[in-house]
Chain A
Amino acid sequence: MELATDIWVWVAAILTLFVYSFLIKDNPLYKFAEHAMGGLGVGYWTAVLFYNVIIPDFWEPLTIAIRKLSMTPQNFDAFMAREGFSQMPQIMQDFSPGVSILLLLLPAIIGLLLFTRYIPKIAWISRFSLAFYLGAASGIAIPNTFQTRILEQLRGTIVQDAPDGSVVPLFSFDAWRDFFAAPGIETFFDAISGPLLILGVVCTLSYFFFSKEHKGILGGMARIGIWFLMIGFGASFGYTVMGRVSLLIGRVQFLLTDWLGVAG
């Protein structure tokens, strides 16, 4: 056993224990950790946003464009060299400095207007920004969602790409032939998997089809759909247990190894 000597390891360990104290009951130590965590997290966001987005995406190109407009070519070159800018910002490679400034300021203004929602009298202005954002996000999502979630997934329910690059039907007569030629567990599962997958997809989809009452054939299919969904949720539950336990293991590993030095 070799206790950690790094002060930061102790900070981390003590805060970890603060959080675990919740297991006994809710208490001020836990509440302290909970609130400090929220504050530090949002502080982290702010600084990352500043350095990773505002500076490179907005501030740098804007200042360069303004200098380009206002300075003589010699002074501008001297400025670029002094600041260590070895090339023009991407936007100025495509547009004149004036247009660049406009193209940088416009989205920033649209973005800033989002904040008017906090001022009741002019809150309606934020709708303009929101409309642009939602419109663009919805528009670009449609074709890609259709391709990824509908077309490709439906294709995968009819055919499958074999390892050798050929395309084989999911309902494979060859697999059934193999099964009847040599009945066994493996050939059985090979034969049944494709048809079961097709049945499962169709039945699960019929369960989600709410435009018609679930009676008769549709009702039967929806019922089978529920069974598939239950197996899916069961698998998800099993995996969820695994995930939560992994997080716990990670923290206990830290306490035992990095802090207390009892397990390697």
Chain B
Amino acid sequence: MKKLLQKLLVLDRRWIFLVIGLVVIIALVAPCTTSIGITTPVQSFYDIIDNAEKDKPVLVSFDLGPSTLPELEPMLRAVVRHAFLNDVQIIATAMLIQAPGIAERILVEVTEELNEEFEDQGIDRRIEMGKDWVFLGFRAGVAAVMLGIGEEIRNVYPTDYYGTYLDDVPMMQNIHNYYDMSAVVTVSGTQIPESWVMYAGGPSGVPVLVGVTAVMAPNFYAYLQTGQMAGMLGGLKGASEYERLMDYDGMATKGMIAQLWVHVTIVIFILLGNVAYFVTRSGKKKRLSVQR
């Protein structure tokens, strides 16, 4: 037994890679489901979007790059979809230079997806750019941009991404700064959500809702307790909870089954590693004392 454990300790790591890869593939192909419990930060996030006033848009800042996309895209899709279904308009911005392409694609895809659904269900409603959403694109200088929007959004973004003046965009007629918005949503794998709290939420009091990668999520709990962040979606789990609240089977819900099985596998790895370590170590100690 001890020999087996010793062998286990010097196992080529590629075997571990193989196990992880197989677990993910099998979990995604197998027809399993998992139940998803709702946590308070997600519920608060959802409630604020759900109760947003119709003539006060939500600013959704796409503050992400390709490296965190698989984790953050599901929450962006869910939030944008939720807002549109509730007739809440979206002002989309990007604080990271990698983000505009991602932002535009998600906005366009969700719009098309919903319009198709409306058509199939015979509902007389279409999501339109300019009426339901406006995309403003990227500006450099994070803090300066956020403070600038707090004064007058036109100072920072005179036009939208496509060059249309904001005064010519129907939904932007009476929108000037954070006081005219229901909330600021920021989705990011960086420290940018903290900047939104510092330069938008703090000075103006607009609720800041954050969607963050799991890596960042624990860092922000202190801001949730003070209300500086009014809600949070942490990683794929946060996104899957949001999808549950919307009763929508999106990318996150499907991914959570694989997430469950990989976590269980990694916990087993940790336990095995520790058992092997302590069993073989106690053996070494005994041998040492005999030699003495």
Contacts and interface: CB of A to CB of B under 8 A. Distances in A.
A190 to B, nearest CB: 14
A56 B197 contact: no
Contact of A250 (B69, B222, B228): B69
Contacts of B25: 252, 256
A240 interface: yes
Interface bracket on B = 35 or more
Contact of B214 (A86, A141, A155, A243): A243
A235 B220 CA distance: 12
A148 B28 contact: no
A245 interface: yes
By secondary structure, the A interface counts as: helix
Contacts, number: 148
Interface in A190-213: 197
Contact of A256 (B28, B144, B222, B225): B28
Contact of B143 (A51, A140, A246, A252): A140
Interface in B193-231: 194, 197-199, 202-203, 213-215, 217-219, 222, 225-228
A90 B154 contact: yes
Given A53-B139, A137-B143, A236-B219, A250 B255 contact: yes
24 contacts: A41-B98, A44-B101, A48-B138, A52-B137, A52-B139, A53-B140, A56-B158, A56-B163, A89-B158, A140-B147, A148-B194, A148-B202, A153-B222, A156-B222, A160-B225, A239-B217, A245-B266, A246-B259, A247-B71, A249-B236, A250-B70, A253-B255, A256-B25, A263-B28
Interface of A: 23-24, 41, 44-45, 48-49, 51-53, 56-57, 86-87, 89-90, 137, 140-141, 144-145, 147-149, 152-153, 155-156, 160-161, 197, 232, 235-236, 239-253, 256, 262-263
